């Protein structure tokens, strides 16, 4: 049998020492106190310990670091050169511990921490971005990561721990999944986008039934907006005739401008009437209910709670601003050929826990 390679043994030995080299900071504090007070008796009095307890703890510390820390001097002791080296590092160690304590205190108050939020594009621009701006002013220590993820994929990421918060559609929320809870965020109202020369642009509110003969520009199959359009039209007594499909609302707006059809546009899309396209409210309240989902119990984490509150506040402000603008736009539009509902990008109710 080949003799063992001594170099391998040496490496293993060094690693073993490093793995077991651990300093108890309480004993390090004793050493620093001894250096400050000059005698074991004075250090014991300052720390409300007995001199024998201080001596025993310092002897244990010497064993931990593997070198003598005290040597006799007359009737007392003095610190060795190794103890002086250790104390030079002790100041930085205790300073770092103070920083750790401060960071943990900030985290416990919700003043610091990392939070990852997922949302779809219109929710990012309409709700998440205003929340980020507010948090930068109120909680600059919060580190936010934003990911563009459409529901329902965001819920799997939430359960898997890749996300902390996810903005999605209430219809897609997995209510039966006990690992997730959801708060109502916003009822995002839909308006109808019409070519500027369309005969219905003069109405304060357009009945869906009046659109029965129109060609629609709509979202692709499987999207929440398409389901909402189809359900709303069905309730009004017809099935929409869809010819063009696109999920990007500025592109949908462009197709309406090109007289390719009419479309339902959510207010969170942030679009306003132009000289070629007019946005009009629908007579029937047509909404996509939005929720913010999180892992059950995670709202007790202060930094997550801070971001959750900021998102709820931003959604509430969007809802109030949108409702006010909608009322003002309808009042000013009576009989006009085109109305500009600028600012009525969103409306909703006060966020509440979903049942």
Nearest to 193 by CA among 257, 268, 285: 257
Mean pLDDT by 10 residues, the chain (355 residues): 46 41 81 87 89 91 89 88 88 75 68 89 94 93 90 82 91 76 92 96 96 96 91 96 94 96 94 94 94 88 90 88 51 35 31 29
- The dihedral sign for the CA sequence 42, 44, 45, 50: negative
> β-strand 263-266 against 180-195: which pairing, if any?
antiparallel
Q: Tell me which residue has tokens 């050493």.
A: 31
Predicted local distance difference test score (pLDDT) of residue 159: 80
- Fold (topology level) of 6-108: Arc Repressor Mutant, subunit A (1.10.10)
pTM: 0.64
Contact call for residues 187 and 287 (beta carbons, < 8 A): yes
Helix (H, G, I), strand (E, B) or coil at 16: helix
Contact call for residues 345 and 126 (beta carbons, < 8 A): yes
Q: State the DSSP H helix or E strand holding residue 117, giving kind and residue range, or none if neither.
A: strand 113-119
| Residues in a beta bridge with 169 | 290
Predicted local distance difference test score (pLDDT) of residue 332: 36
Nearest to 181 by CA among 190, 191, 170, 189: 170
Q: What angle do CA 167, 173, 176 make, to 5 degrees?
A: 145
Q: How many CB atoms lie within 10 A of CB 133?
A: 11
CA distance 77 to 80: 9
CA distance 97 to 25: 10
The CATH class that applies to domain 111-355 reads alpha beta
**Do the domains 111-355 and 6-108 match in fold?**
no
Domain spans of the chain?
6-108, 111-355
Nearest to 346 by CA among 127, 34, 154, 86: 127
């Amino acid at each position: 049998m080949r003799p063992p390679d001594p170099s391998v043994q040496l490496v293993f030995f060094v690693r073993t020492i490093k793995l077991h080299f651990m300093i108890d900071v309480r004993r390090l504090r004793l050493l620093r106190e001894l250096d400050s007070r000059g005698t074991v008796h004075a250090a014991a009095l300052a720390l409300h310990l007995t001199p024998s307890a201080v001596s025993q703890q310092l002897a244990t510390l010497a064993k931990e670091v593997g070198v003598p820390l005290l040597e006799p001097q007359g009737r007392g002791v003095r610190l060795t050169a190794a103890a002086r080296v250790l104390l030079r590092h002790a100041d930085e160690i205790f300073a770092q511990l103070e920083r750790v304590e401060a960071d943990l205190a900030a985290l416990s108050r919700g003043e610091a921490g990392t939070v990852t939020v997922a949302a779809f594009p219109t929710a990012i621009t309409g709700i998440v971005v205003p929340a980020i701006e507010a948090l930068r002013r109120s909680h600059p220590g919060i580190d936010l990561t934003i990911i563009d993820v459409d529901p329902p994929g965001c819920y799997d990421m939430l359960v898997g721990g890749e996300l902390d918060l996810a903005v999605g559609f209430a219809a897609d929320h997995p209510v039966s999944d006990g690992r997730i809870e959801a708060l109502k965020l916003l009822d995002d109202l839909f308006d109808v986008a019409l070519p500027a020369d369309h005969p219905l642009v003069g109405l304060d509110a357009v009945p869906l039934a009046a659109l029965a003969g129109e060609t629609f520009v709509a979202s692709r199959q499987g999207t929440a907006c398409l389901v909402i359009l189809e359900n709303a039209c069905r309730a009004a007594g017809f099935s929409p005739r869809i010819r063009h499909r696109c999920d990007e609302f500025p592109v949908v707006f462009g197709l309406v401008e090109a007289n390719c059809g009419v479309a339902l546009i959510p207010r969170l899309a942030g679009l306003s009437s132009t000289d070629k396209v007019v946005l009009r409210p629908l007579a029937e309240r047509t909404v996509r209910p939005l929720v913010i989902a999180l892992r059950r119990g995670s709202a007790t984490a202060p930094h997550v709670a801070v971001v959750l509150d900021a998102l709820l506040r931003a959604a509430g402000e969007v809802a109030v601003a949108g409702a006010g603008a909608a009322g003002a736009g309808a009042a000013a539009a009576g009989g006009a050929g085109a109305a500009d509902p600028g600012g009525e990008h969103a409306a909703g109710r006060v966020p509440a826990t979903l049942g």
